[in-house]
Every structure is written in C-alpha cells, then in structure tokens.
Amino acid sequence: MLGYVSLFMDLSSELIHALLPVFLVTTMGMSVSALGLLEGAAEATAMIVRIFSGPVSDWLGKRKALLLLGYGLGALSKPLFPLAHTPALVAVARLIDRAGKGIRGAPRDALLADVAPPEIRGACYGLRQSMDTIGAFAGPLVAIVLMLRFSDHIRAVLWFAVVPAVIAVGLIVFGIEEPAHEQASRSFRSPLRWKALREFPGRYWFVVAIGATFTLARFSEAFLVLRAQQTGIDIAWIPGVMVVMSLAYALSAYPAGALSDRTDRRVLLALGIVTLIAADLVLGASASIITVLIGVALWGLHMGLTQGLLAAMVAETAPQSLRGTAFGVFNLASGICLLFASVIAGWLWDRHGASTTFFAGAVLALLPLVMCRFAPRLAKLKP
C-alpha cells in the first residue's frame, strides 16, 4: 500500500516536474542559475525537513499521521503550479511540495523498516522504490499525451496533476493501518535529542558520509530536461526524457534491492556510482537525441542501483528505536550537499556550458567511489 501511495504521488509530481524546467526557463524567463538554486533549495528542503519528521515519528511511536501531513501538503501544492503567473509563486509551490516530501519521507522509510522482515529488507525497499518509480515513469508519459492533446498548453496540462495526488492521500486514510509497536516515552523532552546521535555506531556514520558525498556528485534531474531541450526536439516530447529515466529506475530498483540481500552491498553501491559517472560522461560528450537518451537511461539505472540500497544500509546500521532519527540525519547531510550540487551545476551551466556541468559531476563522483573501498561490510550485519 505504501508503494501505491508513492506511485500516485510520484505520478502527480513528475507530471509537473517533467514540464517545470521548460515552463520556468522558456515561458517565464528564469536563468539556469536561478533554476539550479530553486531545484537545489527544493530538494534540500525535502531532505532537511526529515531531520525533524524522523525523530518526531520515533517520539510519538506513530508514523501514519506524519505520512498524512506530508502527502497532504504535496496534494495542496499541486493547484498552485497552473495558477502561477510569476516564478515566485512557482517557487513557493515547489518548496511546499518538497517540504511535504520531507515530512513524509523518514517516517515512511522507518515504517517500512518496522514491517519488513530483516532477511528481505533490501527487497522490500527495492519494491517500494520500484512502485514509486512506476509513478515517476507514468507522470511524464501522461504529460506527453496531454501536451499533444492540448497543443503544448502547459498550464492546462498541469491541472491534471491534482487528481492522482488526491488519490494518494485517500489511500493513506483508508488503506494503511500502522502496526502496533511500543510507544516511546514522551514526557517533556524534545523529540529531537542530539545526545541520541552518540548511540549510532561508526558504520552508520560511514554510510552517512558516503551518501552525502554521493549526493554532492549529483544534481537535480531538471538539468536532464534542459539537456534534452538542447537537442531541438519538440516541447511536447521533452517529458519523454523523464520517461526513459524512470523506466530504467523502475526496472532496476527491485532486482538491485533483492540482490543486495545476498551479496556485499558495497559492490552494488560502487557499481551504481560507476554508472553515474558513465551517465555524466555520455551527457557531457554530446547533445544529440541518441546520446542524451542513453545518458538519461544510465542516470535512471544508477538511481535504481543506489537509492533503495542506501535506505537499506541506513536501516541496517541504525538502532531500531532510532530509525526515524537515523533517516532524518542521513537526509539532512544529503540535503545540504544536494543544495550545493544544484547551485554549482546551474552556475557552471550558465558560465561554462552544459558539458562542463556533467563532466564536473563525473569528477566529483570519484570521491564516494573511493570511499566504498574502505566502507565496512554491511551485508551480514544484524539489524
């Protein structure tokens, strides 16, 4: 059910996200540097908010209420995009949407850890991630159909994102029943206890370090959309880039998660980072439609190989009673790095061109790749 919720909300979000870079840069005249700042701030907001939502879910001993709040904010933000006539209102809508994602993210991941059998935890995260990515695949595909139907009228198309978002909220209300578990003692202490960080083992902090440096090497998928625009394809077909990326992501996430339960997770993570480097090199080398699609497919493959895997590694190395906090801290570090990554990418794009942006990402990815060599072996650890 968590997978279906993610599917419908991602369908809604990616329908918008597939068109938003073109809408802002081409229709509203926003610079690529400003777009990078907005995308970095939006995604960083989602990750940083998790530092609060995760510990609060541990403190309450309940996850569903925070899921409902987070997905509810995402649904409420959707009508603001077609109503916007200035970049400022689009920015507000984007930040509200990502704040909702941040509120729901850590409690959702912690809830999944609560119910997933340890011996198939990687597969469970991979399955949810695959369903999430099916929505991300369907969103841009729907956007293409609607853009052709409404003659490239972006505002009209954006209204259709409201429906799946409402469905996602309804599935939470009526379809998810939280499992019974021991409720944390609340008294008057703050749910965000910095002293709790001392309870995390060294191997958890190494996972945080790898995840943060890996995120620094990545930037918003908005730059993939802009790269596709440089090929000269019709605006109605530009969301097809996100379709290709999401398809590669969806097809690889579950098999990668299942495989990680039976092998050394470090090897798969290193393979995912190498795939990101390959994607950057292909995207930087040429702006032809063929090379862009190959690069985007590799980008989606690297996401499938790494995102569920990193979530499983966090769950595996964190104390069970502090999993919400663990995901919050992990996403705080990743969010800060993502903000810097997207800002730098936008600046490089405006000053030195698209190729330099992607080549710089490939160079930065070498650091987490080297770190994988020295990471502790995690596949045999008990949760």
Domain ranges of the chain: 2-175+201-374
pLDDT at 93: 93
The encoded tokens of residue 38 equal 């907005």
Q: By the 8 A CB rule, do 215 and 334 touch?
A: yes
What is the three-class DSSP state of 188? Answer: coil
Q: How many whole angstroms separate alpha carbon 299 and alpha carbon 301?
A: 5
Give the residue from 32, 43, 35, 40 showing the smallest Cα distance to 349. 32
* d(C-alpha 114, C-alpha 101), whole Å: 20
What pLDDT is recorded for position 44?
75
Q: Which residue has the tokens 């259709």?
A: 160
Per-residue pLDDT of the chain (383 residues; tens, 9 = 90+): 888 998 999 999 989 988 888 888 877 888 888 888 888 888 778 777 777 776 777 777 677 888 899 999 999 999 999 998 888 899 999 999 989 988 887 788 777 877 778 778 778 877 887 788 788 888 888 999 999 988 878 889 999 999 999 999 999 888 887 776 555 444 434 445 556 677 788 888 888 999 889 988 888 888 888 898 888 888 888 888 888 888 888 788 778 877 877 777 788 889 999 999 999 999 999 878 899 999 999 999 998 888 878 888 888 888 877 777 787 788 788 878 888 888 899 899 989 999 999 999 999 999 999 988 877 665 444 43
Confidence (pLDDT) at 158: 92
DSSP 26: I
pLDDT given for residue 336 in this prediction = 83
The third-level CATH classification (topology) of the domain covering 2-175+201-374 is Growth Hormone; Chain: A; (1.20.1250)
Question: Residues in the chain, how many?
Answer: 383
Contacts of residue 269, Cβ cutoff 8 Å, sequence gap at least 6: 210, 305, 306, 309, 310, 313, 372, 375
In this prediction, residue 297 carries a pLDDT of 94
- Matching residue, tokens 């980072």: 273
Alpha carbon distance 344, 361 (integer Å): 10
Which ranges of the chain does DSSP label H, i.e. alpha helix? 2-17, 20-22, 32-60, 64-77, 80-83, 87-115, 121-149, 154-158, 162-175, 202-216, 222-229, 240-260, 265-285, 289-317, 323-352, 354-364, 366-374
Residue 180: the pLDDT is 65
Collapsing DSSP to helix, strand or coil, 297 comes out as helix
Q: How far apart are CA 244 and CA 296, in angstroms?
A: 7
Distance in angstroms (rounded) separating the CA atoms of residues 167 and 170: 5
DSSP, collapsed to helix, strand or coil, labels residue 209 as helix
Q: Which amino acid is at 113?
A: A
Residue 100 phi, psi dihedral angles, 5° rounding? -60, -40
Write phi, then psi, for 117 (nearest 5 degrees): -60, 135
Map tokens 């469970």 to a residue. 124
